[in-house]
Chains A and B, each alone.
Chain A
Amino acid sequence: MTEDAISAERPLPAPRRPFREAVKSIGLLRESWVASLGAGIVVFWVIVAVLAPVLAPYPPNQQIGPLKNAPPMTLAEEGRPYFTDQGMERTSGDELYILGGDNLGRDVLSRVIWGARSVLIYAPIATACAYVIGIAMGLLAGYRRGWIDDVLSRVSDIILSFPVLVLYVVIITVFGPSAINIVLAVTFASAPGIMRIVRGLVLDLRNRDYVAAAQTRGENPWYIMLVEILPNARGPLIVDACLRLGYTTITIGVLGFLGLGLPPPDPNWGNLVAENREVAQIAPYSTLFPCIAISTLVLGLNLLADGLREISMKD
């Protein structure tokens, strides 16, 4: 705070410009090529997901029978019949599957593009839910201490002792595979890990002067936790969120691959691999491309996390 602000009759905090601050912090990414590369890959997939209806050459579930298991860059033969929602049609000869067709004659490229959508919707939702709960638990445990801390820590120790995928398999067996159950399962399994990180950070921050000042002002405990402590713990949490988003993407992919994920027929990278695994020997492309897609997205998130950590170490 400047001298002027203090001497003014009513001290005004320096005007905050959240937008400009956000732009500035994005500019920080240039400090590390690893972070920029990661951010570039992630932004690429986000754009693909947002523009899926424009980018995908065909509807994701459109089957053109003659192009079943076709290799990339295949044109359909002219005059072969196939079925759409409107009824039977005949190929005009210019249907082109850039990345080939899958085992039901659907366009692999379109399905990979639409698959980006489902991953980029459910993985962030699941991670965000886990964060809301994990942060609340961590703040409570670290700030209140006492029996709340003991109970929350024990509970999270127990949940964390489960091998993660075994936990998912049990949860999804009981409650059935659906988008909501996947989000809930991920929340349940990752919130304790987030709680541990937040708790550790809060234990460090709770003795700072500004927290004491807020307590003396008589602020509400939740105000202190959310407004005074949490923003100062954001650095490690942002890095962790990128990593966790990557894990969640993998989890959703693996569950789809195992047949416990989002129900078909809508495309999801894990499901795409599972659907076409049997024909991998004669038509490897329909499994290869979804795998490349999920690997690059996770790689982008991991690189971003690594780069962000590097940048925060520099300060």
Chain B
Amino acid sequence: MLIFLLKRLGFMLLTMLVVSILLFLVLEINVENLATRVLGQFSTEEQRQIWLEENGYLRPIYIRYLEWIGDMLQGDFGHSTRFNVPVSEILFDRLGNTGLLALCVFGVMVPLALTLGILAGMREGSSMDRSITFFSVLTTSVPEFASAVFFSAIFVFALGWLPGTSGMAQGFNWTEMVLPVVVLVLYGFGYIARMMRASMAEVMQSPYIRTAILKGLPYRRVITKHALRNALIAPFTVIILQINWLLSGVIAVEYFFSYKGFGALLLEASLNTDIDVIQGCAIVAVFVAVGTQTLADIGYTYLNPRIRFS
């Protein structure tokens, strides 16, 4: 177990190292291009050279990389040209906001998806199963920006029940959280529900469930005491991996509702070629993604006795 843990952590560190090198190369290997993007198309060759010289871009790439990664490890993510503040100041604020959004999404999505998945997988092929499956395919097919358009048309413009933007201008406001959360939940829950359904359906076919039913246990008890324990193991991984998906999903939703989160920051940085912010955001995103994957792996191994004791 300890060896497994160390191996997973080692692989996590290796992945992050490789990713940071790749990211650095992709964003900074072509310094000429970089200068043009930051200074604009109409900058002169001379201006670009001065800019490169001033920002230390003319030194060898490995020195720049080592300096960059060193700074980052000390919490210095560089300076945002767009917001004119240190990146770390704005990045962690935004990340906190996205974390809050993610917490709300997970708080709604996970119970909903698990319940629907269990109901569908309990009796495979029943009309309940078919309607839940169809519903989850339907909601997964509507991109976030499209469902955001639909919901704002109904609840913001037609009925006037909810605010159309979630900028939190007058401090935190629950009503502004509703639409982003609903949109993300609808798009994301289908996948978890499917995994839960598949896992449940598989468990329901196993002999020990048949035994439990045949010995006359109430159906409810068979489901809650016998089936769920095993059926919940596989979806656990999927739920944790949804954090990775959420990091992508929030970009469109935060942009649509102008929620001041991490995704909106990355997009704004990208549209304004704010290289330091893009690097910071991407590194943090990968850090979160790889970290959660490792967590999912370790958790899965721990939860599944067949792997834990082998």
Residues of A within 8 A of B (CB): 34, 157-158, 161-166, 169-174, 246, 250, 253-254, 257-260, 270, 273, 277, 280-281, 284, 287-288, 291-292, 294-295, 298-299, 301-303, 306
* B252 & A284 in contact (Cβ 8 Å cutoff): no
Most buried by B among A161, A287, A291, A301: A161
Contacts known (A170-B278, A172-B270); A162 close to B27, Cβ less than 8 A: no
Are the C-beta atoms of A291 and B150 separated by less than 8 Å? yes
Quick check: A287 and B142 within 8 Å, CB to CB?
no
| Distance, CA A24 to CA B137, complexed state (A) | 27
Cβ-defined contact, A169 with B290, below 8 A = no
Q: How far is the CB of A245 from chain B (nearest CB, A)?
A: 12
Given A171-B26, A173-B278, A246-B141: 9 more A-B contacts, CB < 8 Å: A170-B270, A253-B143, A254-B144, A254-B252, A260-B271, A280-B153, A294-B146, A299-B137, A303-B137
Within the complex, the shortest CB–CB distance from A161 to chain B, in Å, comes to: 5
User: Which residues of chain A are within 8 angstroms of B22 by Cβ–Cβ distance?
Assistant: 158
A288:B282 contact, CB within 8 angstroms: no
Say yes or no: is B152 at the interface (Cβ < 8 Å to chain A). yes
Over the window 127-156 of chain B, the binary record of Cβ atoms lying under 8 Å from chain A Cβ atoms (1 yes, 0 no) is: 000000110011011111110011011000
B285 is an interface residue with CB less than 8 A from chain A? yes
- Which of A157, A166, A169, A273 meets B146, CB within 8 Å? A273
B137 touches A306 (CB 8 A): yes
Residues of A within 8 A of B290 (CB): 161
Query: In the assembled complex, which residues on chain B have CB atoms less than 8 Å from the CB atom of A288?
Result: 149-150, 153
CA distance A271 to B19 in the complex (A): 31
| A174-B143 contact given A258-B267, A288-B149, A302-B137, CB 8 Å threshold | no
CB <8 Å contact, A258 and B251 = yes
User: Are B149's CB and A163's CB within 8 A?
Assistant: no
**If A174-B26, A273-B149 touch, does A166 touch B267 (CB 8 Å cutoff)?**
no
Q: How large is the interface on B (under 10, 10 to 19, 20 to 34, 35 or more residues)?
A: 35 or more
* Sample (18) of A-B pairs whose CB atoms are under 8 Å apart: A158-B18, A161-B286, A161-B290, A163-B248, A165-B252, A173-B273, A173-B278, A253-B143, A254-B145, A257-B145, A257-B255, A270-B145, A294-B143, A294-B146, A298-B142, A299-B142, A303-B137, A306-B137
Q: Which residues of A contact B278 (CB under 8 A)?
A: 169-170, 173
CA distance A292 to B149 in the complex (A): 10
**Is the Cβ of B289 less than 8 Å from the Cβ of A280?**
no
Cβ of B146 and Cβ of A162 under 8 Å apart? no
Residues facing A in B247-285 (CB within 8 A) are 247-249, 251-252, 255-256, 266-267, 270-271, 273, 278, 281-282, 285
What chain A residues lie within 8 Å of B282 (beta carbons)?
A: 166, 170
Pick the contact of B149 from A173, A174, A287 — CB < 8 Å?
A: A287
Q: Is B47 an interface residue (CB 8 A)?
A: no
CA distance A43 to B164 in the complex (A): 36
A270 CA to B252 CA in the complex, in Å?
11
A169–B251 CB distance below 8 A: yes
Given contacts A162-B19, A169-B267, A273-B145, contact A258 B255 (CB under 8 A): yes
The residues of B with any CB-CB pair to A shorter than 8 Å are 15, 18-19, 22-23, 26-27, 33, 133-134, 137-138, 140-146, 149-150, 152-153, 157, 164, 244-245, 247-249, 251-252, 255-256, 266-267, 270-271, 273, 278, 281-282, 285-286, 289-290, 293
Smallest beta-carbon distance A115→chain B, Å? 13
Task: Decide if A164 touches B248 in the complex (CB within 8 Å).
Answer: yes
Within the complex, the shortest CB–CB distance from B170 to chain A, in Å, comes to: 20
Q: Are B252 and A258 in contact (CB under 8 A)?
A: yes
Would A161 and B289 be within 8 Å (CB), given that A291-B146, A294-B143, A302-B140 are in contact?
yes
Bound state CA distance, A115 and B256, in angstroms?
A: 21
B293 CB contacts on chain A under 8 angstroms: 161
Q: Would you call A173 and B270 a contact (CB within 8 A)?
A: yes
Contacting pair A170 B23 (CB below 8 A): yes
Interchain CB contact under 8 A, B137 and A295: no
Task: Give the top 5 A-B pairs by smallest Cβ distance, nearest first.
Answer: A165-B248, A291-B146, A299-B141, A163-B247, A298-B141
Closest to B140 in A: A302
Nearest CB on A from B150, distance (A): 6
Q: Which residues of A contact B152 (CB under 8 A)?
A: 280
Contact present for A298 and B143 (CB under 8 Å): yes
Chain B residues with CB below 8 A from A294, complex form: 143, 146
Nearest-Cβ distance from residue A257 to partner chain B, whole angstroms: 4
Q: With A158-B15, A284-B157 known to touch, is A163 a contact of B289 (CB < 8 Å)?
A: yes
Find the A residue at minimum CB distance from B271. A259
A176, closest chain B residue (CB): B37
Chain B residue contacts of A306, Cβ below 8 A: 133, 137
Please give me the residue from chain B that is nearest to A166 by CB atom.
B285
